[in-house]
Chain A
């Protein structure tokens, strides 16, 4: 069963900590994405990557960075966690053109609380 795996389901971190959210996919997908989901705001794109060592800013990249050293792994980094980064974080992957194929495959999400 193909999947996208996020390393933690729930995470509690302190303000100012550096936080790593890991995402691994086993489908050999080129594209990987990080979204956050907040009540009333829907899914908002943080960063995405279309290839190894490639990264692009999404709509809300401030306070985040990413790393893609291997095709299957896309890490989201909160350089100095703040309470406004408390959210549900979703990782997704896709083939290069998801319009004609099966769309995005999502991980099960990481609910991060920053205290």
Chain B
């Protein structure tokens, strides 16, 4: 079973703080790396699908970077807001098996 690790497991930040978390994945057989946001009582929704080494993606205050050679991706949130509170999941895709998810980072933004 492929191993996808996320850290930290949980995070509490003050409104306005910027934060980041990490996803580590196998550096071999890489096809894509996904990030999802899962808010309480809602469905997980896709944030980014990243395929190229060095790729950077941005959506509003959230951005992500990808290093496929060393097997990690960072998710950044600038100026956290209470509505950013959610669990952030990353998932590794090798191209021939379903996504393998990390256990997620639970972010709580305190107003």
Contacts and interface: CB of A to CB of B under 8 A. Distances in A.
Nearest to A9: B41
B43 A98 contact: no
B44 to A, nearest CB: 5
A98 B103 contact: no
A97 B95 contact: yes
A99 B101 contact: no
- How would you classify the secondary structure of chain A's contact residues: helix, strand, loop or mixed? loop
Contacts of A97: 95
Contacts, number: 59
A100 B99 contact: no
- How would you classify the secondary structure of chain B's contact residues: helix, strand, loop or mixed? loop
Given A58-B98, A104-B34, A41 B103 contact: yes
Contact of B43 (A4, A33, A99, A102): A4
Interface residues of B, number: 24
Given A41-B103, A99-B32, A107-B43, A48 B98 contact: yes
B42 interface: yes
Q: Which 9 A-B pairs have the closest CB atoms?
A: A99-B32, A42-B103, A103-B46, A43-B101, A106-B43, A99-B31, A106-B44, A99-B93, A108-B43
23 contacts: A4-B43, A31-B98, A40-B103, A42-B102, A42-B103, A42-B104, A43-B101, A90-B43, A97-B95, A98-B49, A98-B93, A99-B31, A99-B51, A100-B49, A101-B49, A103-B34, A103-B36, A104-B34, A104-B44, A105-B43, A106-B43, A108-B41, A109-B43
